[in-house]
């Protein structure tokens, strides 16, 4: 399986980096082909310029910085997003990546009637591996906007049989070495089965 791992965290020594490394190592050990996009390391620009927005509904993005990202979406059969949950959603950098890369004639098209037609039926699996400062119950009460954005909204661009996965290390701000090690063990097990 070809898996695109999209990683989004500004601090190189963060726990999210350990989650990223564990994810990539586990996928490769399971025989997957892996591409990694590290948004902060490559200094991805999440800001959509005015001209790009003006033509958003007319054609696929033409900015040269987006070509490799679009190519990776076409290449992938599975996508794993590794990021921290901040204010109950993904970091602005990741949201900007969706805004700029997941565009018309890349991940969706419009029918003659103006309905959205998904273009990512080749994606068989999508997953989120995240950390969250809040407890699980508070995230649930708030409505888990990041989870819903990806596993309901973004996932709608994929085939009907696309499987989803969600993992979160809650209470990250008060985590312990033991809780983090336990979570990395869960990452290994679930990613190996991904």
Fold of 2-192: Rossmann fold (3.40.50)
CA angle (74 as vertex; 45, 34 as ends), nearest 5: 80
Amino acid 129: pLDDT: 98
Reading the block at residue 81, the tokens are: 């997003």
Compute the distance between CA of residue 63 and CA of residue 167 in angstroms, rounded to an integer: 33
Q: Under a CB-based contact definition with an 8 Å cutoff, are residues 91 and 84 in contact?
A: yes
Q: Under a CB-based contact definition with an 8 Å cutoff, are residues 39 and 93 in contact?
A: yes
pLDDT tens for the chain, 194 residues long, are 999 999 999 999 999 999 999 999 999 999 999 999 999 999 999 999 999 999 988 889 999 999 999 999 999 999 999 999 999 899 999 999 999 999 999 999 988 898 888 999 999 999 999 999 988 898 898 888 888 999 988 898 888 889 999 999 999 999 999 999 999 999 999 999 98
Amino acid 75: pLDDT: 97
Compute the distance between CA of residue 165 and CA of residue 127 in angstroms, rounded to an integer: 4
Amino acid 68: pLDDT: 95
Amino acid 143: pLDDT: 83
Amino acid 31: pLDDT: 95
Amino acid 116: pLDDT: 86
Residue extents of the structural domains in the chain: 2-192
Neighbouring-strand partners of residue 117: 109
Compute the distance between CA of residue 9 and CA of residue 41 in angstroms, rounded to an integer: 9
Compute the distance between CA of residue 163 and CA of residue 161 in angstroms, rounded to an integer: 6
Amino acid 25: pLDDT: 97
Amino acid 187: pLDDT: 97
Amino acid 138: pLDDT: 87
Compute the distance between CA of residue 54 and CA of residue 61 in angstroms, rounded to an integer: 11
């Amino acid at each position: 399986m070809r898996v695109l791992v999209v990683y989004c965290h500004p601090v190189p020594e963060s726990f999210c980096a350990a989650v990223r490394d564990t994810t990539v190592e586990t996928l490769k050990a399971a025989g997957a082909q892996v591409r990694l996009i590290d948004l902060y390391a490559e200094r991805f620009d999440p800001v959509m310029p005015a001209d790009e927005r003006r033509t958003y509904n007319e054609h696929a993005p033409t900015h040269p910085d987006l070509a490799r990202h679009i190519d990776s979406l076409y290449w992938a059969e599975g996508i794993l997003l590794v990021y921290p949950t901040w204010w109950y959603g993904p970091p602005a950098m990741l949201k900007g990546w969706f805004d700029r890369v997941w565009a018309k004639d890349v991940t969706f098209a419009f029918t003659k009637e103006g309905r959205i037609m998904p273009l990512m039926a080749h994606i068989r699996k999508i997953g989120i591996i995240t950390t969250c400062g809040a407890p699980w119950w508070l995230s649930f009460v708030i409505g888990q906007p990041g989870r819903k954005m990806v596993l309901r909204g973004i996932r709608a661009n994929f085939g009907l049989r696309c499987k989803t996965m969600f993992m979160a290390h809650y209470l990250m701000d008060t985590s312990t070495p033991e809780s983090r090690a336990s979570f990395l063990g869960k990452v290994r097990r679930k990613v190996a089965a991904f």
